[in-house]
A and B are shown apart, each in its own frame.
Chain A
């Protein structure tokens, strides 16, 4: 069975400081990893996925298979980054979008 662990429930940083939201996973096969974000009073939305290897809103995440991690990073936090962040996993291939979510980390960016 797959599992996603986000050890921090709340992460508070100052504006301009670097951010790292931790995510570790366990899965015997080859997973696909995602970060979803939920801004206040908005719906859950995809932030980025590891296969895209892209930077969205300044965020990046690298899949480290050796450490089974997919930490989300941003060099300089902005106030608008304050949100709930969920790491999620789906098996490859044929995961069918049965996403397994972590418990989420609330990021609070303070001025």
Chain B
């Protein structure tokens, strides 16, 4: 079965630094998502992306966050100036454009971001 790929698996950064988390969605998927999970807490929606623009974003996704699809394969999440509270596991997900709106999501294995 095709997979969503995320790199790196673990990223350590200093507070205030910029980080870019990378994702390669499944090739024929057109809807892309970022979720995050702070240790011990629930998985939270950050942003959805379709047709080269943000479809929806949560309150967490403030001006420090941005997403981009720089080429035909990558989907990135950038945090401009990381804070300690940004430490979390970040999951990328994608789905096909076919069928129902709530078609099955495919998740990546996650990037563990540690802000020191």
* Bound complex: CA A93 to CA B103 (Å): 12
Given contacts A43-B110, A96-B48, contact A101 B42 (CB under 8 A): yes
Chain A interface size band reads 20 to 34
Give chain B residues whose Cβ lies under 8 Å from the Cβ of A94: 101
Give chain A residues whose Cβ lies under 8 Å from the Cβ of B104: 46, 49
Given contacts A43-B110, A44-B91, contact A97 B105 (CB under 8 A): yes
Given contacts A96-B55, A98-B48, contact A44 B43 (CB under 8 A): yes
Q: Please tell me if B22 contacts chain A, counting CB pairs below 8 Å.
A: no
Q: B107 and A44: CB pair below 8 A?
A: yes
Q: B109 and A97: CB pair below 8 A?
A: no
Give chain A residues whose Cβ lies under 8 Å from the Cβ of B102: 32, 49, 90, 92, 95-97
Give chain B residues whose Cβ lies under 8 Å from the Cβ of A96: 31, 48, 55-56, 101-102
Taking Cβ atoms with an 8 Å cutoff, the residues of A that contact B are 32, 42-46, 49, 86, 88, 90, 92-104
